[in-house]
Amino acid sequence: MKRNTSLLFVLLLLAACLKQKNEWPDTLPAADPALPVNFTLQQLNALYPAEGAPLLLDSEQVAAVVIRANDASGNIFRQLILEDSTAGIALLLDEDKLDTRFPVGQKVYLRLKGLYLGNDHGTLQLGALPVADNAGLMQVTAVQPRAFASHIVTTNVVVPMSPLPVNMADLTEPRRELVNRLITIKEVELANPEQDRQYAERTAATNISIRDCQGAQIVLRTSNYARFQAYPTPYGKGSITAVYTVYDGVGQLAIRDTNDMQMAVVRCDGSTRQDPEFISIQALRKLYAGRDTLLGHLAIRGVVTSDAVNRNFGAGNIIVQDGASAVMIYFGNQAAGLPDLGDSVTVGLSGAVLTRYNGVLELKNSKAAQVSVVGKGKSVPPLTLTLAALHKRFAELESVLVKIADAKITNPGEYGGNKTLKDATGTILLYTSNSAAFASTPVPTITKTFQGIVTPYDTTKELKIRNPLLDVY
């Protein structure tokens, strides 16, 4: 990380997890330069430039402010949220790990001359020379590290500013005077706790609806780069502390870390989350009646039989087997950190949908936060069948691991694409994705035993191996 030696001193921050508060070093100099203050953030916000028309601040104006939020959790990126007693502002800074230099609660002096004040879809930001965004609107850019000392004068003073208490009912319309302020709202809960089981999806920032007991709502927006992205959200009712912003006329909240969600177990209606009802995968499959089926507070157990490393089952997919039944689960093609082959798992199904995709029964809208790995290195014995028997039971054995002995691939070449697998009783297509790690591996030309997962493609009956080292012998 770059450091600017012209700062009055360098702050060091003890390593902390998301559930811990910032701790101050013992070696800070007793320094507050007591610069003359002649400007407030309320006066700054009153300048309110039009969207796409940043305003250059060219007067010797100095404000005394307190850092209310930084980038410690990754949910706020390369910026500080600053407040005084009158208003708040976002300051864009082109550096990572700002929390190690600018802890929450630190008093700093803000020299405004030379900065630009911009309007990003309704939220004011301080920054450097504007550039056009993708929509052609001029937006301020982040201040470069070499210019930090020109605009930020640090002190060792810690100011215990409490979040501003706000009623949810007062946020039904955008509140310009609250933008970039740290606020607290009491008596609130997640509007859809069974659906929003984690703070954000892995691939994109995610909106979660927060409501009070009278039904007034606001959006909680969380970055997919937040370190708590996959953490489970709280179920009950309580308070939320967050930075308030506006985007295109809609108010929204951003928490600093999971400490900002203080919610107990009981909800507004007096309900509490109960443990899900576990059902067999065989029973789960029977819930599908030919159309998309939204699932309630259910869960399944099983062992992962697919092999994500070798990429023959599509990105974001796993197959879980329980006894002689199995199901494919889709988490999104950018999903990462999914369970591995041989992991014993429990999977919560609340909010998931049973659907048919290219002929395969699968669970979609599944969330990684609802998956728990309870064991590793488990094996599932394949069901030994002839190809004739497999054809008769194909629908029943969809997604199940099977073994075909004394079989041979009749068209030589590489695994990638369609191959015909033949035993003494019949044939079946052995399909390998061209994206599979072993797609260019030559197929065997002699009789072998083949293990694979029963996988329809629309009306075509297919078998897929996980990888040749495991499944061909």
Torsion of CA 84, 89, 95, 97, to 10 degrees: 50
Fold assignment, 164-263: OB fold (Dihydrolipoamide Acetyltransferase, E2P) (2.40.50)
Question: How buried is 296 (Cβ within 10 angstroms: 0-12 exposed, 13-18 middle, 19+ buried)?
Answer: exposed
Distances (CA, A) of 117 to 126, 346, 405: 5, 50, 72
Structure tokens at 249: 């006329």
Q: What are the φ/ψ torsions at residue 43 (nearest 5 degrees)?
A: -65, -40
Q: Which helix (H) or strand (E) holds 80?
A: strand 79-83
What is the pLDDT of the chain when averaged over all its residues? Answer: 90
**Model confidence pLDDT, tens digit, residues 19-31:** 333 434 433 434 8
Position 260 scores a pLDDT of 94
Let me know: does 295 contact 287? Beta carbons within 8 Å: yes
Cβ-Cβ contacts under 8 Å for 437 (sequence gap 6 or more): 309, 310, 311, 312, 467
Indicate the domain borders of the chain: 41-158, 164-263, 277-375, 383-471
Question: According to the CATH classification, is domain 41-158 in 1.20.120?
Answer: no
Angle at 32 between CA 67 and CA 114, to 5 degrees: 60
- Which of 92, 99, 90 shows the shortest CA–CA distance to 17? 99
Sign of CA dihedral 167, 173, 178, 180: positive
How many Cβ atoms sit within 10 Å of the Cβ of residue 209? 14
Q: Which one-letter amino acid corresponds to residue 70?
A: N
Provide the pLDDT for residue 65. 97
Query: What amino acid is encoded at 174 in this protein?
Result: P
Q: Residue 277 has what pLDDT?
A: 86
**Residue 361, CA distances (Å) to 195, 319, 355, 356, 358 in order:** 21, 11, 6, 5, 9
Please answer whether residues 109 and 153 qualify as being in contact, where contact means their C-beta atoms are separated by less than 8 angstroms: yes
3-state DSSP assignment of residue 168:
helix
Nearest to 461 by CA among 402, 414, 416: 402
What is the C-alpha separation between 298 and 352, in angstroms, rounded? 10
What local confidence, expressed as pLDDT, does residue 265 receive? 75
Assigned CATH topology for domain 277-375: OB fold (Dihydrolipoamide Acetyltransferase, E2P) (2.40.50)
Query: Using the 8-state DSSP alphabet, how is residue 176 labeled?
Result: G
Provide φ and ψ at 244, rounded to 5°: -90, 130
Contacts of residue 236, defined as CB under 8 A and 6 or more positions apart, other chains included, come to: 189, 263, 264, 265, 266, 267, 272, 273
What pLDDT does residue 118 have?
97
Strand partners, 327: 320
**Between vectors from CA 465 to CA 460 and to CA 466, what angle results, nearest 5°?**
130
The residues with which 119 forms a beta bridge, in sequence order, are 124
Cα–Cα distance between 325 and 353 in angstroms, integer?
18
Do 41-158 and 164-263 have matching folds? Answer: yes
Reference 333, options 319, 317, 316, 318; nearest CA is: 316
What 8-state DSSP symbol labels residue 440?
T
Cβ atoms within 10 Å, residue 70: 24
318 vs 357: CA distance, rounded Å: 14
**Measured between alpha carbons, how far is 229 from 333 in angstroms, rounded to an integer?**
17
Q: Which amino acid is at 59?
A: S
The 3-state DSSP class for residue 8 equals coil
Architecture of domain 383-471: Beta Barrel (2.40)
User: Over the chain (473 residues), what is each successive 10-residue block's mean pLDDT?
Assistant: 34 36 41 94 97 96 97 96 97 95 96 97 96 92 96 94 94 95 97 87 91 96 91 90 96 94 90 85 93 89 95 93 96 82 93 94 86 91 97 97 98 96 98 96 97 96 97 97
